[in-house]
Amino acid sequence: MVDNDSEASVLRHQRFQQADRIAPKLVDRTEKLQQKYQGQNGAGNVMKKDPAGGFDDTPIPQAPPGYTIKITFHRAENLPFADIGTLSSDPYILAVLRTDLPKRHKQDPDLRLRVPTIHRNTNPEWNVEWIVANVPQSGFFLKCRLYDEDPRDHDDRLGNAHIIVDNIDDHWAGFSHHKFELKKRMASKRAYTLRGCAVLLSSRVKMGGGLIVSVENLGRTPGEDGGRIYTVGPLPWSRHYSPLIGRLAGTKDTEQGKDGKEIRRYNFQAVQMQLRGPVPADLYHRYVEFKPFVAGMFTSHTLRGRLLNRALHHQHARIYNYDRATKYGVFQEPSIEMTKQFLDFVHYDEGGRIFTYVLTLDAQLRFTETGKEFGIDLLSKHTMHSDVSIYIAFSGEFFIRRIKHGHLHKKESSVDPTKDTHPTAPGPSEREGHDNTANDKDEGPQSVPITGFGPSKGPSHYELIIDNDSGTYRPNAKKLPVLREYLSENLPGLKIVTLDCQEDEEKMQKLKSEQRERKKKSGKQIMYLQNSSMSSISSSDEENLEARATGGELKEHRYKREMHKFMGGGRDEHHYPDVERPN
């Protein structure tokens, strides 16, 4: 099958930052030219039609039920050294599964799985399972790309392993612990140069590496519709941290320190949760062409489209950044514990938080906290979350409220959020009764945990209020009940209410205004960096932001001060503008 490596490596390298700076300016310029052209030609008088996109009613192609298979990624052997400093690697697998089943549209993404990173290990052991349903009788093609994780640069490829099964039937059991040789053709030249040097120095070192994988046939997939493959389980999640983006956006988190006390830090979090498939067939939406440049942005068919596409891929990789701080977990199936984990991700009903979310076609829920300040460097929030996917299942915003008298509403699937829920709970700083403004530092002892503030942490005491407020994909409001039912199956115990961003606009805005007011009362201070891209911010920039927040002096190297003094003819006007020049 054709190999598409457009998303092969994570875009973190400095050379991609120029696209972040150019793309927004280019969009503004082309919009002005478009408006000027339309005005000169009288195009503005033509009756406007609804832009293309939104809900797509294309049916899933019919096919007989396939087979459910379990793929287990056991371990890898003899991986090359990608990190010169440690003579080791931080390997992970990005697996892409393809079949001969026709798609609704050729742009629909393939099924993929990223396994957790194992740090400083050239013989990593994962034992990660992936259960996929409706694999057709014609078999499958599984491409496993092995990478070395590098948060400060692009991820080096360590090799590929191809697994091809051309026929599956009731008698095919699969295979166990089969070793597949890693192909080096597209791998990092630097990594294998180091491996070659090691081979020359020691006869015990081997040049080639391998990936050990098992595939088990679990039998026919239940049901009558076999038109698409989907993930059954397990259901992994990952939480991604960015302290610097958290400072820019003013978002904080509380964690437990070594002494057992709660420590508050600036931290922006992005979460990915795999839900059980399949996503309902009615949840199928395409991007909306609300501006002339949008189609090119998703398809990369124009110069400005390529710039925007690259910038958004870069921003997705920056927000969902994998590093040593990334946390992983897994659930075998939807459960109360999984719902509690979701509530923990969103801090229950604390602090007036509102979240932006995207539900992908493979049932992955991605979300981050949102707000006006979040648009500092992001071209489109939902496009960024979807990683510029042409088709998704659903998108919008959501927040959490605690239910009044939860024990009286246990049997109800939802309650009226304007009448039967409490106002959003205060944040940690409000509960302690101090002002969390410029004197607030990155860390400090706290005695109140951040999650589950209130009489109960049980999911039945909370309600998820979710809408379709997304200008990029504009999900159909008639499909909100379908979304609600699907989320109820995957987040058992949690009450869910849906709001249409148009018909329920008044109620939605009232509730969101209450959330924003609570967030303002938390006293957070937003820090901005001028003439700088978030992708090029260093740890010293974070120290400068902290100094600005606390009113202290910026920490700079003494050579920088000497340079200012030299350029000023003996006077450092940059740091000491009021000091008189010596005679």
Question: Of the ranges 21-35, 222-236, 357-371, which one carries the lowest mean pLDDT score?
Answer: 21-35
Query: Which tokens belong to 289?
Result: 């062409």
* Alpha-carbon gap, residue 289 to 299, rounded angstroms: 12
- Note the pLDDT of residue 319: 87
Question: Of the ranges 169-173, 290-294, 358-362, 510-514, which one carries the lowest mean pLDDT score?
Answer: 290-294
CB 438 within 8 A of CB 550: yes
β-strand pairing of 210-220 with 67-77: antiparallel
Q: Considering only CA atoms, which of 441, 439, 487, 482 is closest in space to residue 464?
A: 487
* Alpha-carbon gap, residue 200 to 197, rounded angstroms: 5
pLDDT at 446 over 50: no
Burial 13-39 (b: 16+ CB within 10 A, else e): eeebbebbbebeebbeebeeeeeeeee
Instruction: Let me know if 307 is exposed, middle or buried by CB neighbors in 10 A (0-12, 13-18, 19+).
Output: buried
Q: ∠ CA(547), CA(552), CA(556), 5° rounding?
A: 65
- What domains lie within the chain, and their CATH numbers? 67-227 (2.60.40.150), 236-521 (no CATH), 555-583 (no CATH)
- Note the pLDDT of residue 114: 97
Q: Which residue has the higher pLDDT, 262 or 151?
A: 151
* Alpha-carbon gap, residue 145 to 238, rounded angstroms: 19
Burial 502-524 (b: 16+ CB within 10 A, else e): eebeebbeebbebbbebbebbbb
- Note the pLDDT of residue 83: 75
What is the tens place of the pLDDT at every residue in 101-127? Answer: 999 999 999 999 999 999 999 899 999
- Note the pLDDT of residue 33: 55
Query: Which tokens belong to 303?
Result: 């110069």
Q: Which residue has the higher pLDDT, 23 or 175?
A: 175
What is the tens place of the pLDDT at every residue in 506-560? Answer: 999 999 988 888 887 765 433 333 333 333 344 444 444 455 444 455 455 554 5
When the pLDDT of each residue in the chain is averaged and rounded to a whole number, the result is 77
Confidence of residue 318 (pLDDT cuts 50, 70, 90): confident
In the numeric block, the tokens 């396994």 are attached to 115
Max mean pLDDT range (6-10, 342-346, 539-543) = 342-346
- Note the pLDDT of residue 118: 96
Return the sign of the alpha-carbon dihedral for residues 519, 520, 521, 523.
positive
* Alpha-carbon gap, residue 178 to 167, rounded angstroms: 17
Instruction: Let me know if 298 is exposed, middle or buried by CB neighbors in 10 A (0-12, 13-18, 19+).
Output: buried
- Note the pLDDT of residue 207: 67
Question: Of the ranges 196-210, 292-306, 503-517, which one carries the lowest mean pLDDT score?
Answer: 196-210
CB 76 within 8 A of CB 211: yes
Q: Tell me, what amino acid is at 350? A: E
Q: Considering only CA atoms, which of 119, 118, 115 is closest in space to residue 85?
A: 119
pLDDT at 150 over 70: yes
pLDDT at 374 over 60: no
CB 453 within 8 A of CB 429: no
Query: Which tokens belong to 152?
Result: 């400060």
Phi first, then psi, for residue 154 (nearest 5°) are: -75, 150
pLDDT at 434 over 80: no
- Note the pLDDT of residue 457: 77
User: What percent of the chain lies above the pLDDT cut of 70?
Assistant: 62
- Note the pLDDT of residue 444: 31
Phi-psi region of 462 (alpha: psi -120 to 50; beta: other; left: phi over 0): beta
- Note the pLDDT of residue 156: 87
